[in-house]
Structures are given as C-alpha cells and as structure tokens.
Structure 1
Amino acid sequence: MLGAIGILTIVFILCLLINIPIAIALAISALTVVLIEGTIPISFLIQATFTSNDSFSLLAVPFFILAGELMSTGGISRRLIDFFKSMVGSWTGSLGLITILASLIFAAISGSGAATVASIGGIMIPHMINSGYKKPYAAALTASAGALGPIIPPSIVFIFYGIMAGVSISDLFIAGIVPGLLIAVILIIINYIVCKKEGYVDQQPEEEKIGFWRSLNEAKFGLLAPIIILGGIYGGIVTPTEAAVVAVVYSLIVSIFIYKELRFSDLMDVFLKAAVTSGSVMIFVGTATFFGKILTLEQVPQYIANGISGFTTNPIIILVLINLFLLVVGMFIETVAALLIFVPLLLPIVIPLGVDPLHFGMIVCFNLTLGLLTPPLGLNLFIGAKVANIRFEETFKHLTPILVALLILLGIITFVPQLTLFLPHLLSSK
C-alpha cells in the first residue's frame, strides 16, 4: 500500500511539474499504479470514468453553467449592475459595493465563482478603474466577491459534495445561505474601510444616472431569477437538476424575447462556451473518480484515518489539521477535483467524531473556495487580474486583509456548527 501511495504521489507531482493538466495527471498517476500492480484491469479506467458522469444530479452542473453564460451574454448581469447603481448612489466606495451586491445576485443564478468574476468583473473592474480605484484593489475585490459563487445557493460545488457524501443537495443549498451572506457583509465592511481611507467617493455623471424605478423595472427579470430557482427547490416543486433546466429556459426567454440582446445566431457561441467549460469539469469528475477508487482499493483512506487518530483523538485538533490541509490543497488543485479526491478520504475520519456531514460539507466547500483566491491556482484572482490588465501578484497587498477576515469566518463556521445547521433544521422541522 505504501508503495502505491508513493507511486501515485510521485507520478502526480511529476505530471504537474511538466504542466500536464490536473485532470490528465490524475488519470496518469492512477493508471500507473494499475499497470505496475497488474491486479486491476485497465478497462476499470473507462468504467469508473463513464459511470461517474452517469448521474442525474450531475446534469445540474452543465445547465447552471449554461444559464450563467446566457444571463451574462443576454444583458441580465448588466441590468442588475444598473439597478444597484441607482440604489446605492454616490456613497463612499459605492462601485465596490455594487460589485459585491451584483456578484451576490449573479452567484444565486450561476452557482459558479469563475462565471461571477468574469461576468460582473468584466463590467465593474473597468468602471472602478475609470473612477480612480487602484487596479489591484478593483481586481482583488471582484475576485473575492466571486467567492460568493460556490457558497450562495445554487452552488455547483455543493452539488458535487452532496453526490460524494450522500447528503441532500437541497439541504446544502439552504445551509449555504448564512455563510454566503456573512461573506458579503465582510466584503462590504472591508470595502468601506479601504475606500474611506483611499477617498474613493464615486460621483456618477448626470448623463449616466438611471432612475431607481426605471432600473428596477429593467432588472426585475434578473432579480426574479434566483427567487424562481431557489423557490422552486425549497418549495419542493423541482429538484436542483430540474431547477437548473428552469434557469436555462428562463434565461433564454428573457434574453431573446424580452431584452432582445441575444440573437439566435449568438446561441452557438454561448452553447460552445458552456460546453467547453462543462466538458472540462466532467473530465475532472471522471479522472478524479478513477483516482479516488484506486486510493480506496489501496486502503489509503484507512491509512490516513489511522495516522490522524494515532496522532490525536481531539476533534478540535483534527478539524484544525483538516482545515490546514485543505487550505494547502486549494492552492494547487481545482475545487471540484479536490472535492472528488478528498471528500471520500476525510468523511470517514470526521463522522466517528460526531461531525454532521452537512456541517462538514460547509467546512470543506468554504475552505476550498478560498483556493480560488490563493496562488498558484487562484482562478478568480487570475480572471480579475486579467480583466484589470495587471499581474496577479500585484493584488496580494489588497487581498491579504480580505483573506484574513475570511479565514476567521472559516474558523467560526468550523467550530459553531449551528451557524450552518440551524436553517436546514428549522425548515425541515416545519
């Protein structure tokens, strides 16, 4: 077993060092163990990869990705931003506040951090820069607001965790509401402090001002989208997968027939973008599942569990160690891949400690979401920096206080389980 662990680790690291994509690196390292040991048929790779994607729940992922693309291209995100501009006005740091609020609503539609940064950041970062905001701060704030995507329901990350852990996806969505709102509050407070210090008071030109009621009327279909999607799920009308399909149909109708900003000729490009993104995610699912099954066959989860329990039986220390481990993992491995690899390894460790799988899901998902902001992977950070046309390392100074605040929130979520559990328990008791 130790030999298999060594082979997996060495081959995987070597693949990453020579810039092989993580999804392919997972398959190569696991397949190397299969070939060397010779006890598992090579066809197991095909079986594991195919069956892992053969899931009704997983259909929600490509549909939510497509819904995000449609809403971004069809003018829904722009109208949401115009609405928040009219509502916020010219307060200190109002453009930063608009970015956070618009990201909050868009996250409740797309379920994706990267999609939120790309859609909202593509509009707001240039606007902030033109209004005198420093480029690194505009990029760091937008990237951080994109972290709402995987936490505010409906969340693609929660869908994967729910499948891996056998936890209700609807309950995970409900559990993410409070942590997601807390992230938004933290970002709003930090944005106000920074903008007060830097003197960012946003004066909107008269010709660009839009009346509140007019902007509300324009944005009403975007604001209705999360109500329809989440209301359908929590009301028991649709499953999360069916809600994703509803989101796509709703986005198509609004973008093509109401706003008329999306033409039928544009659909091919939108579908292509969504297909490429979804395809890359599903490749991760297949190869990571194969990798995880090899780990299970080699009894790696038991080995890790015995190692940790041999080191300590204190649940607090174990949760701290797991958090530290996942923070490092999030720096190097994409969120979905990390979930698929490590959830089957870590769940058997925490369940005997009395940790609720729903609560643990929030710990894991929130923790790995921070990986979207930490290099060398830091997908949100790279997207924000690219839009701002700067090197991503220039954002570190402004990102540091945000990360510190979010790490404190991670600690609170970890050791105050009722913050996550009280809302699902409250709604389930009715």
Structure 2
Amino acid sequence: MIFGILISFFLLLFMGLPIAFTMGAVTSGAMFLGNISIEMMVQRMFAGANSFSLLALPLFILAGNVMGEGGLTKRLMRLANVIVGRLPGGLAMTGVMTCALFGAVSGSTVATTFAVGSVLVPEMKRQNYSNAFIASLIGPSGVLGLIIPPSITMVILGITANISIGKLFVAGFFPGILLAAMLCIYAGIISHRHNYGIVNKEKISLKEFLHIAGDAFLPLMTPVIILGGIFSGFMTPTEAAVSAVLYGLLLSAFYKELTFSRLKTMMVESAVTSATILIVISVCNAFGWLLTIQKIPTMITNFFLAYANTPTQFLLIVSGILLILGCLTEVTSLIILLAPIFMPIALQFGIDPIHFGMVLIMNFALANITPPVGLSTIAGCAITDKKMGIEDTMPYTLYVIGIVAAAVLAIIFVPEISTVLPEFFS
C-alpha cells in the first residue's frame, strides 16, 4: 500500500496532473483498495479547510492585489531607486529592493514579481539588461514577499505546524534583509561585468529625498500596523488581514489610482487564487491523514532518529529533501504534507520552533525558484517575454539558486538571524 501510494503519486505528478487532483486520485484510490469509506476523505477535506485562521489567507491575497494596483508599487520603487540608483546595476538593485519593500506590503511571491516587474522590466530592457538576467532576477526576487512579513506562506505554515504566526512574521525580517542584500550585491557584480544598465549620476537634494521618502511612508506603515496589532494583542492574524485590506483600500482611494471596475476584477481574482490554494490544503489534509494511518510519518521519524545525530544534521537532511521535492511540486502542498511530519521530530531534537519554521520558509523560497516547477522563475519569464522558458535564463538562475541556498545554510548554522527578534518581542 505504501509503495503503491508513493509510486502513483509521483507517476501522476510527472504526467502533469495538477497537485490537488493527483492527491485526490491517490487518496481516493488507496481508500477504495483499503476498504476505507470514501466519506472519510470528504470529512478530512472539510476539516482541512475548517479553520478561522485560514480566513487570513484570502484577505492577505486581496490586500496584496489592492496595494499592487493602488499606486503603492511605484512609490516604493522611487524610494528604492533613490537609495541604490546611482550604483552600478542600480536599476537591477532597485528591482530587488522594491520586491523587498513590496513584500512587506503584499505577502505574496507571484504578486510581488508581477507588481514590480510590470513597472520595472520595460525600463530594464531599455537600459540594455539581457532578458535572461531580468527574468532570473525579478522572478526569484519575488520570494522576498514569502520571507518578509506579512507572508501568506507563513500563515499556512503557522496553521499547519502550530507555530505562532506573529512570531514567524517577526522572524522573517532579518533573513529577508540578508537575502535582499545578497541579491543586490549579485546584481551589481553581474551588471558591472556585462556592462548592464545606465548609472544614474543625477544628484538629488535632501528636500527631494525627503519628499520621495514621505510619499512611500504610508505604504511602508502596512507591516507596522499588522505586526503592531498582532503583538499588542489587539488583533488576531485574521483580523490583521482585514485591517490590511481596509488600509490598502484607504490608501488606494487617497492616491486615486484604483478604479471600481478594477477593484471588482481583483476581488474575483483573489477569490479564485484563494480557492485554488484552499482546495490544495483540503486535499492535502486528506492525503496526510492517509499517510498517517499507513504509518509513513513514523517511518520517516525513525529514519531521522537513526541517521541524524545532531540538530544541524537533521536540518541539513530536511533541506536536502525539500530541495528535491521543491523541483517536483509547489510550496503549499509541501507545507501541508511535510510540516506536520517534520515539526515533532524537530522538537525531539530540541530545535526552536521559530528557527525550524524559518528554515522551512527559506527552503520554500528556494523551491519557488528551482526548475521545472519554480513558480517565481516562471513568473519572471512570463513578465519578461512570454516566449521564454526557464532554460533560457541559464546560467543566471543557477547563480540565484546558489545565493538562496547560501542564505538557507546561513539560517541553519546561525539560528540567531531568525530568532533574535522574536525573543526580543516575547
């Protein structure tokens, strides 16, 4: 039964069947062969989506869409350009920094890529950046929206692995800043080596800088409102998501850049995106229950306890597994399937849950980049040139994968990067 489940799962996945349908087919088939009532699948699917905390998911998605269309992106981009625009590769660095700033507003990886890329990519092409470099940088830089709070992925992980969502949010700041700095340095080196971009030598006065910074101040207050509300005890993560939507709508009305017709379209798009994720969560819960009754988590636990002698070895093995699986499937299914299995083992090794959560988040960021299922890289190709494939971005994508992998190792070997802020606020 166990081998049948695993073989069927990967066979259907390689045939191109969507992950939700793959898990649904394998789960229902295994239940039928095991004489388990199919009603159990329906019950487990309902239980997987029956969570008040999951209401934060569609709300954060809507908030990100509203802020992306409401004039916030270009204000954040102007601020980023003022800070790094005069350096070699300044426009590329501006893209990375804007993704980091917008990630602190939207919480979505792909939304960050499209919001920033739609504004920045035409100008990068005009400044002689190659399409391969643009797609390999702007796409993967979108994962900063996954790491820097608020993050939709952190919400799903917190609910699935029973980790404080608020502490996960705070823990993401330093890892996000670290990765953004590494990507900026990489962008500067590559731009200098290949003579990409035009260095902006125009001086800006203090008055102009303060005006641009003031214009970006209100959008940058979004994470302050969200985290302040959560840590003050005034709001739950779900209520903070509602506040993010309302704040985004107020800013959009203030900037007068979001039409009512576009708002209606965005609400539909947000509902469709949310439904897609929730279907995956529901089916993954049923699939995870099936694995549990087949004692697969116990087998995995015994493997780790037998071959991993230290917490660091355990984290490295987990990262290796996620690196392989991240090439085959998308992040949400990895979270729902593996987080409940790995978390108890991490606790047995005495690993701080917040540290382990951030190791998983960084690995999920890497999974969003690695081909052939790297959604961020695919999004970068789509917004640069619709005819591009991931293979056209080589070797730049390999460089970026190496950078993100180095950030993963930094979080593993230096836990304080992700734990110092949560400890300060606790």
Distance 1:37 1:173, change over 3 A: same
Match of 1:294 in 2: 290
Distance 1:354 1:127, change over 3 A: same
What 5-or-longer segments of structure 2 have no aligned partner?
A: none
The 5 Å alignment of 1:158-177 reads 158-177=154-173
Q: Which of 396, 402, 405 is equivalent to 1:404?
A: 402
Match of 1:270 in 2: 266
Q: Which of 48, 52, 65 is equivalent to 1:52?
A: 48
2:257 is paired with a residue whose SS is coil
Distance 1:311 1:129, change over 3 A: same
Alpha-carbon distance in structure 2 between the residues aligned to 1:166 and 1:54? 15
Q: 1:7 touches 1:32 (CA, 8 Å); kept in 2?
A: no
Instruction: Give TM-score, length-normalised by structure 2.
Output: 0.94
Q: 2:45 touches 2:283 (CA, 8 Å); kept in 1?
A: yes
Q: Does 1:418 align with 2:412?
A: no
Q: 1:117 touches 1:384 (CA, 8 Å); kept in 2?
A: yes
- The one-letter amino acid of 1:110's match is S
Moved more, 286-295 or 260-269: 260-269
Alpha-carbon distance in structure 2 between the residues aligned to 1:167 and 1:226? 19
Match of 2:321 in 1: 325
Q: How many residues align?
A: 421
Moved more, 242-251 or 410-419: 410-419
Q: Which of 300, 309, 325 is equivalent to 1:313?
A: 309
Alpha-carbon distance in structure 2 between the residues aligned to 1:426 and 1:221? 26
1:150 is paired with a residue whose SS is helix
Q: Does 1:131 align with 2:127?
A: yes
Note the alpha carbon deviations across 1:69-114, whole angstroms, 9 max, x for none: 1111222112221333344443311111111111111111111111
Match of 1:195 in 2: 191
Match of 2:228 in 1: 231
Distance 1:308 1:83, change over 3 A: closer
Q: Does 1:346 align with 2:349?
A: no
Alpha-carbon distance in structure 1 between the residues aligned to 2:216 and 2:424? 32
Q: Does 1:117 align with 2:113?
A: yes
Distance 1:220 1:314, change over 3 A: closer
2:409 is paired with a residue whose SS is helix
What is the deviation of 1:205? 11
Q: 2:124 touches 2:197 (CA, 8 Å); kept in 1?
A: no
- The one-letter amino acid of 1:409's match is A
Q: 2:128 touches 2:197 (CA, 8 Å); kept in 1?
A: no
1:184 is paired with a residue whose SS is helix
* Runs of 4+ displaced beyond 4 Å: 203-206
Q: Does 1:371 align with 2:358?
A: no
What is the deviation of 1:168? 0.9
What is the deviation of 1:175? 1.2
Alpha-carbon distance in structure 2 between the residues aligned to 1:249 and 1:259? 14
Alpha-carbon distance in structure 2 between the residues aligned to 1:349 and 1:239? 28
Q: 2:372 touches 2:390 (CA, 8 Å); kept in 1?
A: no
Q: 1:90 touches 1:201 (CA, 8 Å); kept in 2?
A: no
2:351 is paired with a residue whose SS is coil
Match of 1:67 in 2: 63
- The one-letter amino acid of 1:318's match is F
Q: 2:90 touches 2:199 (CA, 8 Å); kept in 1?
A: no
Alpha-carbon distance in structure 2 between the residues aligned to 1:32 and 1:313? 37
What is the deviation of 1:340? 0.3
Q: 2:312 touches 2:412 (CA, 8 Å); kept in 1?
A: no
What is the deviation of 1:22? 0.4
RMSD: 2.0
Q: 1:165 touches 1:357 (CA, 8 Å); kept in 2?
A: no
Identity between Structure 1 and Structure 2 (%):
35
What is the deviation of 1:309? 2.5
Moved more, 9-18 or 196-205: 196-205
What 5-or-longer segments of structure 1 have no aligned partner?
A: none
Q: 2:151 touches 2:169 (CA, 8 Å); kept in 1?
A: yes
Q: 2:131 touches 2:384 (CA, 8 Å); kept in 1?
A: yes
Q: Does 1:42 align with 2:38?
A: yes
Q: 1:91 touches 1:202 (CA, 8 Å); kept in 2?
A: no
Alpha-carbon distance in structure 2 between the residues aligned to 1:218 and 1:131? 26
Distance 1:205 1:74, change over 3 A: farther
Alpha-carbon distance in structure 2 between the residues aligned to 1:49 and 1:59? 16
Q: Does 1:245 align with 2:242?
A: yes
- The one-letter amino acid of 2:248's match is S
Instruction: Give TM-score, length-normalised by structure 1.
Output: 0.93
Alpha-carbon distance in structure 2 between the residues aligned to 1:345 and 1:423? 26
1:319 is paired with a residue whose SS is helix
Alpha-carbon distance in structure 2 between the residues aligned to 1:319 and 1:88? 35
Moved more, 180-189 or 84-93: 84-93
Note the alpha carbon deviations across 1:349-377, whole angstroms, 9 max, x for none: 22211112221111111112101111110
What is the deviation of 1:62? 0.6
Q: Does 1:12 align with 2:9?
A: yes
- The one-letter amino acid of 1:247's match is A
Alpha-carbon distance in structure 2 between the residues aligned to 1:146 and 1:249? 24
Match of 1:107 in 2: 103
The 5 Å alignment of 1:16-35 reads 16-35=13-32
Moved more, 63-72 or 414-423: 414-423
Alpha-carbon distance in structure 1 between the residues aligned to 2:231 and 2:126? 41
Distance 1:412 1:90, change over 3 A: closer
- The one-letter amino acid of 2:361's match is C
Alpha-carbon distance in structure 2 between the residues aligned to 1:87 and 1:302? 51
Note the alpha carbon deviations across 1:325-356, whole angstroms, 9 max, x for none: 11111111111110100112222322211112
- The one-letter amino acid of 1:380's match is S
Alpha-carbon distance in structure 2 between the residues aligned to 1:364 and 1:164? 12
What is the deviation of 1:163? 1.2
